[in-house]
Structures are given as structure tokens and as C-alpha cells.
A and B are shown apart, each in its own frame.
Chain A
Amino acid sequence: MAIHNKKISFCITCMNRLYHLKQTLEKNILDNYLLDEVEFVVLDYNSTDKLGDWIKGEMTHYIELDILVYYRTSNPEVYNRSHSRNMAYRLSRGELVCNLDADNFLGVGFAKKMLTNFQRNADSFYTSNLNIEDVFGKVVLTRSSFLKVKGYNEGLNGYGFEDVDFFSRLEGSGLTHNLFYEPEFHKYISHSKYERVQNEKFFKNLEFIYISYKTPYLSNVIIFYKNNTFKLIEFIDNPHLNRLNEKERSFLERFTDELTYVMINKPLIFGKWEVKDNRLFVQIEETEFEFTENAAFIKLNEEDFYKIDDEDLIIDILLTFSTSLNILEAKKILNDPYINKRGFGTGQVFRNFDYSKMIELN
């Protein structure tokens, strides 16, 4: 178990984000250099981009100064936000912990500012202004608060909502939610949607997508996966239908309200598909449909479905699907004390390139 001898730990989890870390890590360290008080924890979540080699070659100085600690786990095949963050928090030594995405800049003096703020009120947590998606996950809290709410919810897979769920449970545990507003603390590297999702399970498993348009606010989408299954989803455009909805809501209530999001409108339909002899066979319940492989247009149960080739739209749909599943999942267990029943942030890691000694997080 780590000795908690640092004041604040910035926890960075990375799967193939070396190109971001090269731009942010050293700058963040230098902008927040408080020897003996600050540490940066980099959890290499089974990256294949030689992240470890770069740290070893370029950042050893900071490891020797005990400002930077490098951990590597080799088990994960895909990136899991909640699990990786829980691991990094558990490995850190700070009395305060902060999630820091690899593409985020901390800003000069962020650590000092947070240390001062928490001296005044430890029963709180700090987030960004919540208006910028790229820094939405930046949160500072005490280690004891993290342990009290049992970390990020590992039941939430994929993309989106794990932060909202986490903040909501922190608030539910009695902590005051504070925001930092300084533009300096909201800086990040702008990047494409593709970069954001390329390591996510839901993106790696995708084969292709078809869409059908029912009304201006209802669309049916079929996501075909590499394992020859598919899901048929009806989406509803809640934000469009609820433009006049002006319930008085707190920040977090706004983010946990289904009416704020495009959502799944009814139970999913599951099915199987395969391609044989250049023909696409789609089976829904007992009925099988047959089409030309890669057809731009197919007709299923009297509905016209169009193949989506636009990468941005594909990513939009996958992100929307993932977020709406997470919202439904999170709403079931919002403030539920029994999340992460089997523990959180568990797994095996190696510290600072010492591969002779495996650390087991139980």
C-alpha cells in the first residue's frame, strides 16, 4: 500500500496517448512544481506506442526527484475510463487526488490553488466550469472522499457519463461541489473525435452501421458488430423536443436529466448477421433478410435503412449510444452504496520499470 506522503497527486491514465503526453506532461510538472508536495502518476494502461520508452528516456529526472511515478499494467485490451482512473487514484500517494486527461494542461499554479482551497474546506470537490467537454473530467477531491464513494463506477462501460455519475455521488455523499472558472485551468489540446474513440471497445468492435429516419426526432439505427451480432436502437432527440423545458436545475441535475440527451427510446432489438457469397444475411427473431453485401440501402420490416459512410456521423452515433446506455445504467444505481461490489481499480501493475516486483491491487 502506498504511503500517503504527498499533498496532491495528478493521475493520468493513458492508452496510446504518447503524442499528447509529450506535449503536456513536462509542462504540467514545471507549471506546478512544488517539490515534496506534488506528484504526477502516469498509469500506462497497456499502451503499444512506446510510452514507457519515452518516460524512461526523457522523464527519468522527474522520477528520480520523486515528482513522477510511472506504472504499467499489461492486462487491459481496451481502454476503460472508470477502472483505469480507480487504479491510478489507488496507486497515488496524495492526500488530494486529481484526474488529469493526457491532453489537458493543468495551468500555472493549479496545484497551489487547490491546496489552499482544500485547507479552507476539505469537505468539498472541485471541477471545471463543466462547459468544456475536453476538460470535463478534471476533478480534485480528497483521497478519503474517493474511497468513501468507492471510486468511479466500473459498471459504466464505454464512453460518457462516468464523470457525471462520479460527481453526482460525491455530491450525494455530502460534499460541496465547487467549480474553478479560470480560463488558464481549462486549456487542452484540441483533437478529433476519432482520436478520442479509437481505443474504445465499442469502436474497435464495430463493423458497419445503417440508419432509418422515422420522424424529425426519431431515428432507428442498426449497429453491426465484428462478432456477427447487431443491435437495433430507436433514438429520440430529447433536446429538440424539450427546448421549452426550463426546470430549475443544478449543474449536476442538468447532466443527469435524460431530457438533456439524445436517448434510447425503447428496448433494444438484438439479432445476428453474416456475409456469405457476397450476400448479407440479417436475422431478426425468426425472420431472415438477404441483401447485396455493402448495399447502400436495405429494407427491413418495411423500413428503409441507409448505410453510413461518414466517419464523424458513425462516431457521433456510437458516442450517443454509449452515453445513453451509461445514463440508463447510472440512473439505476445513482447514489447506490453497492456499486463496485467486487472492488475497484483492481489488477496488477509494475512501478517505475521494476518488472521483477508485481504490485497486486486487490
Chain B
Amino acid sequence: MYLKEGLSWNFISLFYDRTNWDILIEKINDFETEICTRCKDFLISFSEEKGDNIRLTISSEIGDYEYIRKETYTYFSSFFIESPSVQEKKVAYGKMFWRGYDNNSIAFDIFKLTHYGQHDIDLIKKTNNVIFKLVHPDYSQDNFSSLSLYLMITLLKLFIVKDDRKLVLNSMMSSVANDFRSYGLLNKISKLMKEEAIDERDLEEILDSYLESDPPDDIAIWSDLVYTFESPRIQENFIFIIEQLFETLGQNQYHRALSLKILQSWVDNKNGLF
């Protein structure tokens, strides 16, 4: 049993093909409201690690730990039998070190959070609210990448003063690139950009459009986040929120570095105008 802050924590991975995540999300929402009445915190995030999966982080009183584990397993096992998803992507045998978990299966305790303080959990929930409203109903990786870039530009524009923007991005990039697990990451990103024939001009136009567009229609969704930028630790909070954004959207080290690299080049090309 995993204990933090006086609560027990269940980490549940629901392996279900990404093309059907909209259906699974509805089912998860039903589960949270109808079944999970003894849950304290209920956090949702996405992942592609060892197969497409949606992750649930559920905290509860210590005595409810086994109950929640059992209820989750029973509920989603039945759902996977009733409405199995079909794996769209072909498995790339010989191109990966490990195979993924079976599609339509459940695994426990193969991830965890990095922060458990009440302030951190609140911030994660609020960030996630913004993300979920913007992402639904398109759960494709393309949309997740676009959303990451859009939110980074919008938050940079709103909350980080012009002179500090480049600095903040550089700091995030060196943290991703210097991570011990990210060996050779930057070379791989350059290779990827060439292979995918990413057209820098097209990208620039897209990012310009993000910059010019107003914040999301429902401005209220930003209000939850704004208070974080009123504290003296604005840059740290910005970085925390962007990292949380990456976590929630299941962006691995390569996706993160790619988004940051694209943004860095774009800011450089602006010659101080952003």
C-alpha cells in the first residue's frame, strides 16, 4: 500500500486504444460520480507508456484502499468486456525494447505522482480542468501536441514578462535534455524533425495564430490558474503548470523536448518581439 499525506493512493492504468478514449473518459466520469464515493482525490492523466492508457490516481482513507482497488477492477473489467477497443496501431516488433500491456487490460502501481501536498494536488486538479475542457473530444497526439504549444504560448504571453520568456524556456529545455534518462535526446529530436519533414514556416504560421488568438472562449477556466501567478514565485509556478500539462497529456521526454525546441526556435525568430 502506498501512503502519502495520511492517505492511501491507488495508481490504476486502463489500457484502451487511444482512438476510443472519448468513450473511456465518459465511463471514468460515471465511475467517479456514481461508484467512487469513498475516493478523496481523483486525478486523470493520459499515457502512451507500454500501450495507450488512461491513468487514474485515487486517494482514500487507508481502510478504503482495497475496496477502491477491487471496485475499480470490477467496474472497468466489465466495461472492457462489454466495449473492447480495437488496437489501431500495428505493433512494431523489433523496434522496441518492451512490448506493451494488452489492450483492454488493467495494471496497478506502474506509475506515481511526483507531488502529494494539498497545494500541489489542488494545482494539478485546476490545471487538469483547463486541459480537459480544451482537449475534449479530440484525444489524438496531434491535438495534444498542439494544445501543449497553445497553452505554453498563451501562459507565457499572459504571465511571464517579455524579457524572461526565453530564459524560462531555456531553463525548461535544459531540465528535459539533461535528465539522466534523456541521453542523446537532442540529436534524436533533430533527426525526428528532419524525418517528419516538419516545415518551419508552416509551424511559425500556426504558432503566430496561437499568439494572436484570444484566450479560450470560456475565460473563466483561466481564473483558477491566475492566482498562481500572483505569488512571487511566478516562474516556478509557470514551470510547474507546464510540467503538469505535459504529465497530464502523457507527453514523454521526446514530445516535451520537441515542443520546447519548436517554441525556442519560434521565440528566437521573433527577435525580441515576443
A contact residues vs B (CB 8 Å cutoff): 130-134, 183, 186, 190-193, 211, 213, 215-217, 219, 235, 237, 240-241, 243-244, 262, 296-297, 304, 306-310, 312-313, 316-317, 320
Q: Is the CB of B94 within 8 A of A217?
A: no
Stretch from B66-74, B161-169, B184-192 that touches the partner: B184-192
Q: Is the CB of B188 within 8 A of A133?
A: no
Q: Is B109 an interface residue (CB 8 A)?
A: yes
Q: Is B243 an interface residue (CB 8 A)?
A: no
Q: Is the CB of A219 within 8 A of B97?
A: yes
Min Cβ gap B102→A in Å is 9
Stretch from B121-129, B142-150, B175-183, B200-208 that touches the partner: B175-183
Q: Could you say which residues of chain A place their CB within 8 Å of the CB of B227?
A: none
Chain B stretch 98-119: residues in CB contact (< 8 A) with chain A: 98-101, 107, 109-112
Residue of B nearest to A193 (CB): B184
Q: How far is the CA of A309 from the CA of B96 in the complex (A)?
A: 11
Contact of A243 among B97, B112, B183 (CB under 8 A): B112
Q: Is the CB of A237 within 8 A of B188?
A: no
Q: How far is the CA of A78 from the CA of B128 in the complex (A)?
A: 52
Residue of A nearest to B187 (CB): A192
Residue of B nearest to A192 (CB): B187
Q: Is the CB of A213 within 8 A of B98?
A: yes
Q: Is the CB of B109 within 8 A of A243?
A: yes
Q: Is B2 an interface residue (CB 8 A)?
A: yes
Q: How far is the CA of A249 from the CA of B11 in the complex (A)?
A: 23
Min Cβ gap B96→A in Å is 7
A306-B184 contact given A215-B99, A216-B101, CB 8 Å threshold: no
Min Cβ gap B153→A in Å is 26
Q: How far is the CA of A307 from the CA of B97 in the complex (A)?
A: 12
Q: Is the CB of B110 within 8 A of A243?
A: yes
A313-B95 contact given A243-B111, A243-B112, CB 8 Å threshold: yes
Residue of A nearest to B184 (CB): A193
Known: A219-B98, A310-B95. 12 other contacts (CB 8 A): A133-B180, A190-B187, A192-B187, A216-B50, A219-B97, A235-B97, A237-B97, A240-B50, A241-B110, A307-B94, A312-B184, A313-B96
Offer 16 A-B interface pairs, CB within 8 angstroms, sorted by A. Answer: A133-B180, A211-B94, A213-B98, A216-B98, A216-B99, A219-B97, A219-B98, A219-B99, A240-B98, A243-B11, A243-B109, A243-B112, A296-B94, A306-B94, A309-B94, A313-B95
A244-B109 contact given A133-B180, A192-B187, CB 8 Å threshold: yes
Q: How far is the CA of A153 from the CA of B21 in the complex (A)?
A: 51
A306-B93 contact given A191-B187, A192-B184, A243-B112, CB 8 Å threshold: yes
Q: Could you say which residues of chain B place their CB within 8 Å of the CB of A235?
A: 97
Q: How far is the CA of A106 from the CA of B96 in the complex (A)?
A: 36
Q: How far is the CA of A193 from the CA of B96 in the complex (A)?
A: 16
Q: Could you say which residues of chain A place their CB within 8 Å of the CB of B187?
A: 190-193
